[in-house]
Amino acid sequence: MTDEQTALIALDWGTSSLRAFRMSRAGRVLETRASAHGIQHLPEPGVPGFEAAFAAICGDWLEAAPVPVVAGGMVGSAQGWCEVPYLRCPAPIDALPGAAARVRAANGHEILLAPGLLFDPEGGTPDVMRGEEIQIAGAIAGRADWQAAATLVLPGTHSKWAQVADNTVTGFATYMTGEIFAVMRGHSILGRLMTDDPVPDEARAAAFAQGVALASEAGPGDLTRQLFSTRTLGLTGKLPGGALADYCSGLLIGHEIVSGLAAHGDGPVILVGSAELCRRYATALHQLSGRDPAARIENPAPAGLFRLACDAGLISPDTGVHP
């Protein structure tokens, strides 16, 4: 088998979208496809909808090369194709296959579904992730230093701060930063003064930095009080409407980073997510701590799914598909 031949189909199957990766035995992505058929947007309800979405995005690949299939994300949730129980932390990365589940499609192909992770510390409150564990596995793959000790920050609707030690996710915390920003902008009084009016990039960057700075001064319970300043700065003309969203973003991201560094600040910080969002987090991280992220990684899901397949014994980077 050459590195141009298909050895694995990897699916990143989330709530609103589905991505498929045709991969070689060396872990190289040979082809990528995207679909709007996330688990909440299937072509039809229930299992038939998953079957149809699966066949549409990679059926021809599997007809041409009947190789193993792995999937991660919300496809393994209670609303997914098959619910896969969470693996409890501390969770070694190489323990993911043992907690995975298998589902067989109507066309006969078996799909290995990754588990999510549960962090339920004694005396604390439980936290969960599903899909991010695959991104973490991909981000640290091939990096012994990060596997030994690192903090991975995955910004998004529900940001995750995960601690890795000895190739094990020892714990993590979720911050609803992205969702709160979306609610504030779209469904609260704060959003009424936010506009899309053109504002110089320098002014937007200054507004973001102002929000981050205010977060650094916060005491217990100050977030909701400080959020209201998004409105008053607009009302008084101290910030233009086109920069208010940046200010609010800086305030929320700043609060998250202050909290995250206090709890998970040891070792290198690795940002995993979209380039623009990671840029904002890197800017705030430097402003608050003087530190820069060790890396910014946009999409480690294929690498994480490839590692899941290898650890599960479905493929080998050296010999290709197992008989």
pLDDT for residue 2: 65
Average pLDDT estimate for 212-218: 98
CB atoms within 10 A of CB 23: 25
Of the CA atoms within 13 Å of residue 19, those in its CB half-sphere come to: 15
Say whether pLDDT at 252 is over 50. yes
Q: How far is CA 164 from CA 7, 73, 110, 124, 233, in A?
A: 29, 20, 31, 19, 40
Helix (H) or strand (E) holding 111: strand 110-113
pTM of the full predicted structure? Answer: 0.94
pLDDT tier at 264, thresholds 50, 70, 90: confident
Say whether pLDDT at 28 is over 60. yes
Fold that domain 177-297 belongs to in CATH: Nucleotidyltransferase; domain 5 (3.30.420)
pLDDT tier at 205, thresholds 50, 70, 90: very high
Average pLDDT estimate for 150-169: 97
Domain ranges of the chain: 8-141+301-321, 177-297
Fold that domain 8-141+301-321 belongs to in CATH: Nucleotidyltransferase; domain 5 (3.30.420)
pLDDT tier at 318, thresholds 50, 70, 90: low
CB atoms within 10 A of CB 176: 14
Nearest residue to 169 via CA among 264, 102, 82, 262: 264
Q: Do domains 8-141+301-321 and 177-297 have the same CATH topology?
A: yes
pLDDT for residue 1: 56
Helix (H) or strand (E) holding 110: strand 110-113
Strand order through the sheet with 117-119: 87-88, 117-119, 127-129
